Amino acid sequence: MEKPIFTDVLQVAVVVKNLDEAVKIYYDEYGIGPWAIYEFNPETVKDMIIRDKREDYAMRLALCNIGKVQWELIEPKDDKSIYAEFLRTHGEGLHHVAFGVEDYDEAMNFFRSKGHKILQGGTWCDFIYTYLTTEEDLKVIAEIYKPPESFKWPEPDEVYPPGAKIPWIG
């Protein structure tokens, strides 16, 4: 291979049973935060996919930055998503790592050429996110993004602690 497919580590994600309890522990006990909280569901995300097929799902997630890496906590809101499946089979814990790629479309061609499928994905605020079936090869689910050039983080549905300013949201 000429050059690595991944150019950066962008995000580490953990699946939790209760998002409100989790952000409180992270912030109140460890000083990690503040957290921007969003609801992802068929009303907020287009083109939802599970295992390469069009399928709706829902989750609530919280985001914060630790240094240059985004930390994500995810609570599934149904029993269909890969997060709900993860909770059933593994319990709470590290779920995926999001990696930077030079070109999303080239990266997708690369992963498809290796036989990988889309494990789950969708388009939120014109921001495409894609989880790939890399667990066997990489021992972790890899996520890649295709944000629009003009992407700006929308105001969160809520923040923790309440009233906190999220530094990366304009």
Q: Rounded to an integer, what distance in angstroms lies between the CA atom of residue 13 and that of residue 114?
A: 24
- pTM of this structure: 0.95
End-to-end CA distance of the chain: 39
Using an 8 Å Cβ cutoff, are 84 and 155 in contact? Answer: no
- For 141-162, give one letter per residue: b (16+ CB within 10 A) or e: bbbbbbeeeeeeeeebeebbee
Domain boundaries, the chain: 8-159
Q: pLDDT tens for residues 104-122?
A: 999 999 999 999 999 999 9
Q: pLDDT tens for residues 134-157?
A: 999 999 999 999 999 999 999 999
Domain spanning 8-159: CATH 3.10.180.10: yes
Q: pLDDT tens for residues 20-60?
A: 999 999 999 999 999 999 999 999 999 999 999 999 999 99
Q: Rounded to an integer, what distance in angstroms lies between the CA atom of residue 110 and that of residue 91?
A: 31
